[in-house]
Amino acid sequence: MRSQGAGWFTRITQGMGIAALLWCVTPATVQAQEAADFFRQNCVSCHTIGGGRLTGPDLKNVEGQQDREWLVRFMMNPQAVVNQGDPYAQKLVEEARGVVMPQIVGMTRERAESLLDLIAAESKLESSQFGGTAISDAPFTPEEISQGRRLFLGEQRLANGGPPCISCHTAKHLGGLSGGRLGPDLSRVYERLEGRKNLAAWLGAPATAVMAPIFKKHSIKQEEVLALVAYLEDQTAKGGEDMSVGGLTFLLIGLGGSGLALVAFDLAWRRRFRSARKELVLKSTGRGEEL
C-alpha cells in the first residue's frame, strides 16, 4: 500500500511539473487572451480602461500613477494594503466612497502581472475593448421599463439562461409575497450604485461571491442589461419607502397556511381509522381512558 501511495504522489508532482512547464511556454497571445477574459469576468463591473471611473477608478495608464510592485501587491490583497495605512490606498477608498476593492479569487502574482500587461497594452489603443458600456442619458421608454420588469420577474427568460432577479432579490411594487430574500432589496440599487453606467457595468459582469459563479456561465446580454437598468432606475424614480412584506405578515401567512393545510389533511382523510378499542370502551362505559 505504502509504495503504491508514494507512486501516486510521484505521479501527481510530475503532472504538476509538466503543467508548470506548459504554462511557461504558452505563447504570449494565449496569455493575453486569458488575461482579457479574466478582466472581463472580474474587473469590468467596477473598472474601465479609458471609459471614465465607475465604482473604481479608470485604469488607463495606471502604471503612470503607481509603480508596478505596489499595484501587484494591491491587486493581490487590497484590504491588507488599506489596513497598512498606505496613503495612496486610503485615497482610493475615499474616492470610492468607502468601497474597498474585494479580493479576487484566483489572483496570483503571475495573473496580476499579466493583467497589468493587458492594461498597459489596452491603454495604448485609441479605444479599448474595455472602454465601458456606452449608455445614453435619454429617458427610458415605458417599453424598456416593462421589459425590464418582465426580466426581473422571470416572465421573460434571460437569453443565456441566467436565473431571474426575483429568485434572490426583491423590489418595490411586486405584489404578493414579493421577491427573494437571499440577496439585497434592489429597490434603490440605482441610487446606491450612482447611476446607469455603474449599474450597467455591474450587470455586465456581476462580481459578488454568490452572483459571479452563476453569471460567469450565463452572462446577461447587453440589451437585457439596458432593460434591467431601465426598470431599476424607474424603481428609484418612483421613490417611496422600501415596501417589503414584514416578518410578522410572513409569520401570520405561514401559520394560517399551516392551519389550512392541517384542516385540508383532516378533510382528505376524514374516514381514516382512528381507534377501535377506545371507541368500544367509551361507547360501553362512557369512560374511554379508564378501562
Partner 1 sequence: MNVRSQIAMVFHLDKCIGCHTCSIACKNVWTDRKGAEYMWWNNVETKPGTGFPTAWEDQEKYNGGWELHNGELRLKSTSKTKTVLNIFHHPNMPTMDDYYEPWTYDYQNLFNAPEGPDQPTAVPISTVTGELINIKAGPNWDDDLGGSKIYAANDPNLDGLTAEQQNQLSAVERLVFFYFPRICNHCLNPACVAACPSGAIYKRGEDGIVLIDQNRCRGWRACVPACPYKKVYFNWHTGKSEKCILCYPRLETGQAPACFHSCVGRIRYLGVLLYDASKIEEVGKMPADELIEAQREMILDPHDPEVIAAARANGVHDSVIESAQMSPVYKFVKVWKIALPPHIEYRTLPMLFYVPPMAPVMSERHNGPVRNIGENDNLFHEIDEARVPMKFLANLFGGGHEAKVRYALRKQKAVRWYRRSLTVGDVTKELADRILAEAGSTREEAEAIYRLTSLCTFDERFVIPPMHREEAIEMMEDPLEHKQNVGFGFLTGPKRGL
Binding interface with partner 1 (CB under 8 A): 269, 271-278, 280-281, 283-285, 291
Residue closer to partner 1, measured from CB, 217 or 271 = 271
Q: C-alpha grid cell for residue 167?
A: 429568485
Closest distance of CB 1 from partner 1, Å: 18
Q: How far apart are CA 121 and CA 98, in angstroms?
A: 30
Q: Which residue is listed with cell 409569520?
A: 251
| 66: CB partners within 8 A, 6+ apart | 74, 88
- Which CB, 21 or 262, lies closer to partner 1? 262
For residue 231, the one-letter residue type is Y
For the bound state, the minimum distance from the C-beta of residue 261 to partner 1, rounded and expressed in Å, comes to 13
> What is the smallest separation between the CB atom of 270 and partner 1, expressed in angstroms?
9
Instruction: Please identify, using beta-carbon distances, which residue of 241 and 290 lies nearer to partner 1.
Output: 290
- Of 48, 44, 49, the closest CA to residue 203 belongs to 44
Q: Which is nearer to partner 1, 124 or 271 (CB)?
A: 271
CA dist 110 and 122 (Å) reads: 18
Rounded to 10 deg, the angle between the 222-238 and 142-153 helix axes is: 100
Nearer to partner 1 by C-beta: 88 or 265? 265
Nearer to partner 1, 120 or 281 (CB): 281
Contacts of 107-111 with CB under 8 Å at 24 or more apart are 107/75, 107/76, 108/76, 109/72, 109/76, 110/23, 111/35, 111/38
Q: How far is the CB of 273 from partner 1 (least distance, A)?
A: 5
CB of 275 to partner 1, least distance (A): 6
CB of 260 to partner 1, least distance (A): 18
Q: Would you state the cell numbers that stand for residue 85, as one nine-digit string? A: 495605512
